[in-house]
Each structure stands twice: as structure tokens, then as C-alpha cells.
Amino acid sequence: MITIVHVVNQFFAGLGGEDKAGISVGVIEGSTGAARGLQLQLDEDAKIACTIYYGDNYFHEHKEDAITAILDAVRSARPHVLVAGPAFNSGRYGLSCVELCSAVADALAIPCVTAMHEENPGVGTYRDFANARVYCLPTAETTAGMTDALKRLAKFALRLARDEAVGSARREGYLPRGIRRLEQAERPGVERAIEMLLKKIKNEPFETELPMEVWDDAPPAPPLDQVRDRRLAVVTTSGVVPWGNPDRFKTYRNTHWQKYNIAEIKELEPGKWETVHGGYNVVYMNQNPHYGVPLDALRALETEGAIGPGKLYPAYYVIPGNQGSPAVMRRVGQEIAADLKKDGVEGVLFVAT
Amino acid sequence: MKLEIAEFPVTQIRLGRRFSYENRVLEVDGDELMALVLQDRRITDATLAVAMPGERTRITGIRDIVEPRHKVSGSGQVFPGVLGPIESVGDGRTHRLSGMTIIAAAEYEGTIRAGTTVQRSAILDMSGPGAEISRFSSLAHLVLNFRIVPGLAELEAHTAIQLAEYKVAHRLGQITAALSPEKISIHDLSEQDPTLPNVMLLQGCITDPQHVHSGVGYYGLSLRDSLATYVHPNELFDGAVTVDTTRSGRGYYPTTWDWQNHPLVLGLYEAHGRSLNFGGVILQRIRFETNHGKEVGAQNAARLADAMRADGALVTWIGGGNAFVDVMFTIRACERRGIRTTLVTYENGGKEGKDSPVLFYVSEADAVVSTGSLDRTLDLPAMDRVMGPYEEIKIFPFPGAAPVSARGALSLEARDVIMGGADIWGQGAWKCAEY
Amino acid sequence: MSKELEKAGLPVALVSAMFPVAMQVRANRIVKGVSIPHPCGDPSLPKELDARLRREIVRTALKALESEVKGPTVFSPPSL
């Protein structure tokens, strides 16, 4: 018998509205509230072992505790699949559904499915997590779409429970997580391209196979006051390293970073440094590493007082950036940031090639 | 300009004592081919071998792949400006031995340590997961494995390798000179139907300023910081566009074979007169090194397409990295001129497909065909036989990389070390779908 | 990568020749570099002018670090 756990917020558990948004995690055996609707849709095909609920506010204010409690409850119930929501256009609820699903999927390797309106802020987080075990189905904006959402959640949950292969987002109707998988289409690329172009020329509808990505805004860090009094460091992806490449950087797809001493050095002598990078013409950088690590200019500015004495960090940081996976670069950025802050660095000169 | 391509399919290659083609079996005189190749004193040693689809064979040190062809009539000869004289090609009749290739494999380490010119060679498995992803594993190959004089600079090494493989390719093509083909296909763009849209192929070509041979040759001349230029697609069939063999050995670069059998050119020819008019090919140099260069190059290519009365353009490219910015700028420039575009490209995206599939976007690039990802890991099994110069290979190209046995199982981070590892121009049905 | 530094509270002056790419990924303080293979200088200039250009680029970076910005902003060294 397929077992399912359904996680809902206090409202959909039938325990109250905003007034009860602070209640902590609780477990009710069998199905209650919206879970009863889900059990109806599941019919004889599966049993909801328990309904887990939490207050919307409680979850976000005590996230670690909430998730721990939910994990414990799910662990005890040992379901084949977990269902959370549907959250429709409720932002707090949608976000918590995505977060708890991700936690359950990672900690317990249980597939999860949730549902919400495609403009729910939870969807952004869902795409960021890009967790291959967590699916989100689109719903209507309001609870008017409840029956439909539960019907589709039930169907999808059963498929996951049965370990059936799930196809692409477009084919199966779930919201894409941004995980792109390699597969064979029905026709060669050439044919698909000519067909797509002709549709575009004739103003007929077509669908791109590579949707465009939108990058998040990163709020700017506040500016430095009196930059000459600030500790500054150089970080570069140009691939300038000491001659001999002592730390074995590759010409592409590096996963580690290094910092190299420039403490007593006034300028980078050619012959003592080389450039490891497969993505650009390194001839210039090899002849003059200052194009990537402008030490001569920094020392000159130190002499003239634009940079304070001892304010230039005594090492520069490098990772050759060719074909670096964004996930790796993100981690490297976090690690370098931590290292810089540990040593009191306040601003960065980042040279990219 | 009308070109007839006469096809002689090959299903078996035999190393023997004479040259013959009969019942789709090609026999080659090994000694004569060796003598031909060794005429060039830069080549010190050469061997021939045959690799067939399905065999548990791995070929290493691959620099280029070329299809045997020979012009029996019309102006010029194949590989003009390299092997043939500098004479316009693309008309008359050209014979091709289809279903087979010549693989040029050579040991060469190069004199440059890093950067974009670090010489690359790649491998090809004739069976197993490595074969499944490559368009070359279903063809029969005559593997030309040679050694060149040590210490040659890149241009000399390249010339020696390329001349050898093209001489052999031409010699084999000549076997069919007096024979009747199984099939003749006609390539002629002179009839244009005014009710159909005009479509150009906008082919981005990455060229490397660091090197004496830029990476793309046209009648043997390196394309450098050139502005876009029109070429007739028939010229590609006759080998007018060629590669730098010291650097074409990688999964996301075209080989000579790919230029001779350009799938988008063949597809547009197929559609010519039916759903569109094929207006020809624009060779566009990409990877300008400043934003300024990229913008001028892009707008110039769009202006040329406009002058050719294009209603639409299939856009594709060669290379990786920031050359893609040139491609995106070109799409934007075309769309702003009312030329509709569709881009054909492979993706990156990391091992799990969670990273950005491409480097850069413009909002006008709303019609893209994905030919799959280069970035997937691949585990190749051990093979029974290794051909080519290397018993050990380096799967990471960096100064100081440790080599591994070529015969054994290989764990690849990505597909760029496999010839045909990326479906660069949409010949196959690979794509990425979003999950 | 530079965005992670910024998320940690460190202002970053990003020197890059490909400022459209930098703007697209939403780097906030972007300093125009000369060219992809040599962002901080120009090898076609005589040595002293190349060094002077480099100082100018670094000065522009310092200015960027001192500037309040609302979103991706390109700072152009006067000679570029």
C-alpha cells in the first residue's frame, strides 16, 4: 500500500486563520482538513498516513526547529512520497512548502510534490534549489482551484510513489526547476531549426528550446568612505599564477582558488609568473601579468597616497575562470569572501578576462 | 553555379595492393598511400588502419576528419588553396565516397603552454557510450596515423598533417573517377521563388589571433579580423573552408568533414524551392576582443544579410566562451533590421544541467534550437584496440596533467575530448529539455 | 563570483572589457577594461603610456568603490 504524508499550514489543517499562524508543528494521524480532500482523490490507490501542520509564521520564525520537527515526523511515517500545499498565491505558505520539501528530499531521499500559483514567490526559491526530487505543480490563484489542484497532486504523487519516470516539465505539466537534461528529440536539430525559423518569419507561434535566463539583482554593497583608509584586495579570474603553476590549476573548469603573496613585491616580474587559462589569448598576460593583477599601478597609487600605507592586502586571489561552473564560482566567491572578511578586507578590485 | 555531387557509398574498407571500388567495398593500395604521405619530409613515419562501427576500438590523437572527394569536372579541384590550385570551386561535378572518412591522427605536443592555442587532440570510440554521442562513430574510417619531425612549430605541423590527409582524401576520391555513381544530387540556387522567404545561413567562425593559422581557412587563407563575407554553399562541399589541424581536435569544433557535410547547408538546400529560398552562406568572424569589435562585427554581418535580401537567418557558431557574445549581438542586430533569426547552439550548464546553459542573452534571441549539452560526464569502458599515436592520453589539458592509459576505462568530465562530442550544427537529434 | 563578494558586504569594482555581460549578470560597479586578454592596459601603447593607463583604470576602480550606486553602473576610465 502506498503511504503518503500531507503537509499543510494551520489554515488548511482546519485549525484556524491568522490567529493561529504561530502554532508549532503538529501531527495528526490519517487525514484532516485539506488532506481529506487529497485522500478522496487518492481513493484506494494510497493512504495518507498522517497530516503534518504548522503555523505559517511559526515556520519562518523558527525555521530550524520547524524543519527538524517535520523531518522527525516524516521519518517516523516513512511515506513513499510527500505532498505539501497547495499554497495558491499565499507567499509565506508557498515558500515554506518549497523549503520543507527540499529538506525532506535531501535528508530522507523521499520525492516530494507541492503546488502553487506560478507567480507565488515560492516558485523563485523552487527554481533556485533546483532539487531533482522536488516537483511543483501550477495552480489557480485562489482556493477556487482546490479540487483541481488536489486531483493533479494525487495523480502526480502516485507516479512518484511508484517510481515512474517523469518527463520534461513541458510534457508533464509541472513548473520547471531549471534542470536541463540531455535527451534525443524526435527530429534532427536542422529540421527543428528550419521549422522554427519559418514559423517566426510567418508570425506563427513557436516555442524556443532555450528560454532566456534572468539574473537576480544583488543589492549593491555600500560604498567605501575615504577609500584610502580602507583595506583593499585584488581578486582575478585571469589565471595569473607563479611560474610553474605550483597549485596545478587547469586551463578550464577549475574548482579551487589560491592566494599568492605580493607583500614585499613592487611589481610582477615577467618570467616569475605565468598565465593558466584556456579561454583567451594569454600572450599579453604572459608578457605583462599586470594586465590581470595591476600591482605596479597599485604600488604607484600607494606612493602617491590614493591607497593608504599597508592598506593593500599582501596577497592576491586567483582562480582561472575559463568554463567555470556558476555553482563552483558561487562557492569560491563565498569562500574568498569569508577569507577576506576574516582579515579585515573592506573592498575588492576584481579583474576579469 | 550548379554542382552535381556524385555519391559512392562505402561500407567496407580493405587495405590491399590496389585501388578499387566495387559493390561499396573500397580497396586501397597501402604502399602507394604511404609513399604519397612520406613525400613530405616533415613526416617521418606513417601507418594505416581501418576502424569500423561497432568495433571495440578507440582512436587517439585525432586532429582532423575528412571525406574523400574529387572533382571530375568544373572549375578547380577540391581543397583549393591548400591542395588544389587557387581557383574557384563549387560547379561541375564532384565525386564523394560517403559513409567513410579519413582520420588524421598524429603525435604533436606544440610549443605553447596555455591559452587558447594549446594544441588539442581528441579521441573516438567506435562502440559504447562514447560512440552513441558522436556523429563519427557510425562511419567507416581509414585511420592515417603519422609521426612528424619533432620540434616543428604549429604552422608547419599543421600544414604537414593537413596536406597528408587531403592528399589521401583526394587520391581515394580519384578511384571513382571513371565509375558511375549510385546517386547524384544537384545543388543549384539559381531558381528563386518570389513567393517564398529568403533564408541565409549566418555561420560564426571563431578565429584565434594568437596563432599563425587562425583556425578557419578560406581557399587556404586564414580568416582573421575580417568582416563578414558571402560564400556560396557549394564552395563548402568542395573543401574551400578548412581547419587548423593542430587545434581542431576537440568535441565542439568542426572538422573538415563537418564543413564538407554541413548539416544546416544541406537542410537549407533540401528546403530550397519548397518552403524557402536558400540565399547562401555568410561567414562571420566572431570573438572580437573588445566590445567595440563585437558590435561592429555583429552589425556588419546583419547589414550584409540585409543586402542579400534575407527575410530570415539560421545563425550558428563555432567555439565557446565570449565568442557567444558576438553571436548574441549579431542576432540582436539582425532582428532590429527585421531579419528573423533562429539560433542553433549546444549548451553548457554543468554536469547536472543546473547552471546557466549559455554565457549571455539578448532579449531578441527568442528562437533557439538546443543541440544538447557538452557538459555531461561520461564513463567510457575499456577498449580492445587502440589506434593512433597515443598509448596514454591526457584528459585534462593543463601544464603538468597526468596521462592515463588510452585502452582502459576513462572517466570524462565533459564531452570535449570526444570527436563529435557536441552536436555543433544540429545534425543529430540531441537537445536539452527542462526538468 | 563577484556577486558573492558583494553579498558578503564587500563592495567590488569589477574591471572587465565585456561590460554588457557584467551588466547582464547584475554586477553593480563595473569598470570598463581595455580588452579581454588585457583588461588593465594596452600592449600596443609605449610602456610608460600603458602604465599610466593602468593607473587610470585602478583610480577609476577606487572611485567606483567610493560611489553610491543603485544597480549595475559602468565607470569609464577617461581614456577609454
Distance from CA of B435 to the nearest CA of A (A): 5
Give the chain B residue nearest C36 (alpha carbons): B289
- The share of chain A scoring above pLDDT 90, in percent, equals 86
| Main-chain dihedrals φ then ψ at residue B256, nearest 5 degrees | -60, -40
- Mean pLDDT of the A267-278 span: 91
pLDDT confidence tier of residue A51, bands split at 50, 70 and 90: very high
Residue A295 contacts C, CB cutoff 8 Å: no
- The share of chain B scoring above pLDDT 70, in percent, equals 95
pLDDT of residue A311: 95
pLDDT of residue B115: 56
CB contact under 8 A, A297 and C3: no
Q: Which of residues 238-257 of A touch C (CB under 8 A)?
A: 238
Gap between the Cα atoms of B284 and B313, Å rounded = 13
Gap between the Cα atoms of A226 and B87, Å rounded = 67
> What are the angstrom distances between the C-alpha of B221 and each of A20, B70, B160, B224?
77, 21, 16, 9
pLDDT of residue B310: 98
Domains, chain A: 2-172 (3.40.50.2300), 227-351 (no CATH)
Chains touching C by CB (3 or more pairs below 8 Å):
A, B
Indicate if the pLDDT at residue A288 is higher than 80. Answer: yes
Of A166, A180, A212, nearest in space to B354 by CA: A180
Q: Which contiguous run of DSSP H or E holds residue B392?
A: strand B392-393
- Mean pLDDT of the B264-282 span: 98
CB contact under 8 A, A275 and B366: no
What totals of helices (H) and strands (E) does chain C contain, helices first?
3, 3
pLDDT confidence tier of residue A322, bands split at 50, 70 and 90: confident
Average model confidence (pLDDT) for chain A? 94
**Angle at the Cα of B252 (from B323 to B110), degrees rounded to 5?**
90
Cα-to-chain-centroid distance, residue B235: 14
Indicate if the pLDDT at residue B398 is higher than 60. Answer: no
Of C3, C15, C18, nearest to A218 by CB-CB distance is C3
pLDDT of residue C1: 86
Gap between the Cα atoms of A83 and A103, Å rounded = 13
pLDDT confidence tier of residue B32, bands split at 50, 70 and 90: very high
Distance from CA of C18 to the nearest CA of A (A): 8
pLDDT of residue B409: 92
pLDDT of residue A123: 93
Indicate if the pLDDT at residue A111 is higher than 70. Answer: yes
More confident residue, B115 or B50: B50
Q: A220-251 pLDDT, tens per residue?
A: 999 999 999 999 999 999 999 999 999 999 88
- The answer to whether B223 and B217 are in contact (CB under 8 A) is yes
Indicate if the pLDDT at residue B116 is higher than 70. Answer: no
Residue A86, preceding peptide bond in cis (omega within 30° of 0): yes
Q: C33-73 pLDDT, tens per residue?
A: 999 999 999 999 999 999 999 999 999 999 999 999 999 99
Distance from CA of B156 to the nearest CA of C (A): 26
- Mean pLDDT of the B225-245 span: 96
pLDDT of residue A255: 87
What totals of helices (H) and strands (E) does chain B contain, helices first?
8, 27
pLDDT of residue C24: 86
- Mean pLDDT of the B287-308 span: 95
Cα-to-chain-centroid distance, residue A83: 22
Indicate if the pLDDT at residue B121 is higher than 90. Answer: no
pLDDT of residue A62: 93
- The share of chain A scoring above pLDDT 70, in percent, equals 100
Is the whole-model pTM more than 0.90? no
> What are the angstrom distances between the C-alpha of A274 and each of A244, A271, A277, B120, C41?
7, 7, 10, 20, 17
Residue C67 contacts A, CB cutoff 8 Å: yes
Q: B349-396 pLDDT, tens per residue?
A: 888 888 888 889 999 999 999 999 988 889 999 999 999 988 877 665
Interface probe with C: pick from A212, A281, A291, most Cβ of C within 10 Å: A291
Indicate if the pLDDT at residue B119 is higher than 60. Answer: no
Q: Which three cell numbers stand for residue B70?
A: 574529387
Chains touching A by CB (3 or more pairs below 8 Å):
B, C
Indicate if the pLDDT at residue B38 is higher than 70. Answer: yes
CB contact under 8 A, A196 and B342: yes
Residue B332 contacts A, CB cutoff 8 Å: no
- The answer to whether B236 and B51 are in contact (CB under 8 A) is no
pLDDT confidence tier of residue A328, bands split at 50, 70 and 90: confident
Lowest mean pLDDT segment, chosen from B96-105, B169-178, B205-214, B244-253? B205-214
Residue B358 contacts C, CB cutoff 8 Å: no
Gap between the Cα atoms of B399 and B396, Å rounded = 9
Indicate if the pLDDT at residue B137 is higher than 60. Answer: yes
